[in-house]
Structure 1
Amino acid sequence: MTAKPGVLFDVDGTLVDTTYLHTVAWWEALRRFGHDVPMAEIHRGIGMGSDKIIDHLLGTDRDQDADPELTTAHDVLYGAWWERLRPLPGAADLLRACAGRGLAVVLASSAKEAELAILRKVINAEDALTAATSSSDAAQSKPAPDILQAALDQSDVDPHRCVFVGDAVWDVKAAAALDIPCIGLACGGTSAAELTEAGAITTYADPAALLRDLGQSPIAKLG
C-alpha cells in the first residue's frame, strides 16, 4: 500500500475541551491519596498519560504501590463529565476540511478505548477519519512518540508528508522524536509562546483559527 500524506491530531485539549477537567480530576484524586499538588502544576503535566504524569508530579523516589488506585480515582472522577463534554470550536469542520484535501485524518490519542469512543462521539466527524489510536496501541504515552508511531502504522501515512496538531508541550516533544512538524493550538491552556519555545512550527488559538488559515498553513503543503 502506498503511503499517503496526512494530518495526525491529538484529541484531549486539541479537539475536545477536556484539559481543565483532567486537571481537576487529577487534583481531587491526588488529594484523596494525601498529595496536595497545585492545579497549575497538574495542568502543565496534562498531555502525558497516567503512566507518566504521576511520576512527573510526585517524583519517582516514593511508594508507587497506590498508583493504580490513584489512576482509577482520576478515571472515575473524569468519567463523571463524559456526557457533558464539548468539542472545541471548529473541530469537526477542520477534520472534514483536511479530508477534503485528500489527506488522511488520524486521531493520535492515548485515551483508553471507552473514553476514546466518547471523544469520537463528541467530535462527530467519523466520516473524515482514516484511523484512531487508543492507549492500548502504545507502550508509553507522550512525550514518548509511541502513540504517533502507532497512528502512522495504522493509517499508512507517510512520516515525511504529515504534521501533528496538538495543544501541549508534550505533543510537540513527541512529534519531534519522530521528526514530524507540530502545529500548536493554545486552546488547551498552554500559551503560543510556550508551544513555540518547545518547537511548534506555528500556532493557532483553536481548531477554528487553523481552519480559517488552512490554505496558508503547513497542512496546505502536504498534498
Structure 2
Amino acid sequence: MGQQDTPPGVRRGVLFDVDGTLIDSSYLHTISWWGAFRQYGYDIPMASIHYLVGMGGDRLVDSLLPSGRDRSLDEVIMASHGALYAAHWPALRAFDGSKDLLAQCHAGGLAVALASSAREKDLQIMKGILNADAFIDAATSSKDAEESKPAPDILAAALKAIGVEPANAIFVGDAVWDMKAAAALGIPAVGVTCGGISADVLRDAGAVEVYEGPADLVQNLAGSAIGKLLNRVS
C-alpha cells in the first residue's frame, strides 16, 4: 500500500532520542565514563568513549574494555558512571529549539515519544529541563528495554507506548547507534550533529537527512522528513 493509499485516521508519530539530541549531555557522559574507567584502572581516551555514547552502557563497557577483564566490575563501573554523571545534572541544558520542535510536532497531530535509554532518574531530570510535558505523549527509559542500542528495543517500546506502527514513524537521534536501531525496525532516521557526531558519519550509519540540531530542524521542518509525515496526518 502506497502513501496515497494509507487509510484515514492512521496514527503517526515521531520518536526522539534525548541525550545529545534534545539535551546537551554527550560530553558530560563522556567525561563521566572516563572518570569511572579511571577509578578502576582503565585509561580510555575520551575520543574513543565519545563515539560510543548513545550505545547502551553495557555495550559501551564491553566495547572499550579488554575481553579478559574481571567482568564482575562492569556493573560497578556503570554505577560509577551514573554517580559521576548525576553530579553534572545542574549543568544540563536543552538545546535551542528542543521545546519548540516537540511543540510543533505535537501541534501538527503527531504522537510524540521520547525514546530514551537513560536511567529513569536521569530521564526525569531531563524531562524537567525540557519543560515540554504538554507535548510529550510517552517516554521510555532503560527499564523498558531488554537489550540496549543499537538493538531496537527502546524504539519498539516507544512505538508501542504511542500506538504507532514503524511505517508511520520517524526517529530523531544524534548517534550512530540511534541510526542503526531505527534501521532495524525500518524507521527513517533523522540525524542531528549537536551530539558531536559528524553529518557524514550519521549518513553512513543510515540517516536520511542531517541537521545541526533542534533549532535547525525547526527552521527547516516543512521540507524535512518530519514535515512530510505531518502532511500525511489525517
TM class by shorter chain equals over 0.9
Aligned residue type for 2:68: D
Aligned residues: 222
CA–CA distance in 1 between the matches of 2:66 and 2:148? 17
Aligned to 1:175: 182
Q: TM-score, normalised by structure 2?
A: 0.93
Aligned to 1:85: 92
Aligned to 2:166: 159
- Within the candidate set 38, 41, 50, 1:34 is matched to 41
Distance 1:182 1:16, change over 3 A: same
Q: Does 1:134 align with 2:179?
A: no
* Aligned CA-pair RMSD: 1.0
Aligned to 1:125: 132
Instruction: State the 1:59 CA deviation.
Output: 4.2
CA–CA distance in 1 between the matches of 2:203 and 2:31? 26
Identity of aligned residues (%): 53
Aligned to 1:75: 82
Task: Give unmatched runs, 5+ long, in structure 2.
Answer: 1-8
- The answer as to whether partners of 1:144 and 1:177 remain within 8 angstroms in 2 is yes
- The answer as to whether partners of 1:3 and 1:156 remain within 8 angstroms in 2 is no
Helix, strand or coil: the match of 2:200? Answer: helix
Q: TM-score, normalised by structure 1?
A: 0.97
- The answer as to whether partners of 1:3 and 1:158 remain within 8 angstroms in 2 is no
Aligned to 2:71: 64
- Within the candidate set 18, 26, 33, 2:25 is matched to 18
Q: Does 1:45 align with 2:55?
A: no
Aligned structure 1 segments of 4 or more residues deviating by more than 2 angstroms: 59-62
- The answer as to whether partners of 2:58 and 2:74 remain within 8 angstroms in 1 is no
Distance 1:59 1:150, change over 3 A: farther
Q: Does 1:211 align with 2:209?
A: no
Distance 1:59 1:145, change over 3 A: farther
Helix, strand or coil: the match of 1:17? Answer: coil
Q: Does 1:112 align with 2:112?
A: no
CA–CA distance in 2 between the matches of 1:15 and 1:186? 11
Task: Give unmatched runs, 5+ long, in structure 1.
Answer: none
